Amino acid sequence: MNAESPPPLRARLSDVPLPALVLGLGGLIPFLAGAVAVWLFEPMAARVAQDMQVAYATVILSFLGAVHWGAALGRPDGARSWGWMGWSVTPALLAWFSVMMAPGSALMALMACYLAAFAVDMQAVKKGLLPLWYLSLRRVLTTGAFLCLGATLLRLG
């Protein structure tokens, strides 16, 4: 690594503060419940579970944008940054659009949005706008949400 290269983004899950870790992992329960339910329940109940999973995924996607809003407000000029503030509301708008889509399209859109939000979070951590431990947590939570939404999408197939 040369002197101009940024340090690698490495943090362990054990670096995540316990409340953030416990509450974050707990936030995967509705994703997992929805994925399991669509595979185990009869079709009508499975459809309700799928709709509930999509609704929850949109709420959490909005929350991911709100993390950036809050972080921006905590910096002297953060709220003056059109790029940062613009991104902070983008996940909520994308989530809103996704609830108006057909189920399969909504799931695919949400999966793509979760990956995009993770990519933005990686950049924010690299810039020092969010703590390094946040990336470790987001990696696990994004993977879990993505896999659960994907399992639901597979069931629709």
Per-residue pLDDT of 27-67, as tens digits, reads 999 999 999 999 999 999 999 999 999 999 999 999 999 99
CB neighbourhood size of 128 (10 A):
8
Residue 157 pLDDT level (bands cut at 50, 70, 90):
confident
Question: CB of 125 within 8 A of CB of 4?
Answer: no
Task: Quote the CA–CA distance of 54 and 90 in Å, as a whole number.
Answer: 17
Asked whether the whole model's pTM tops 0.85, one would answer yes
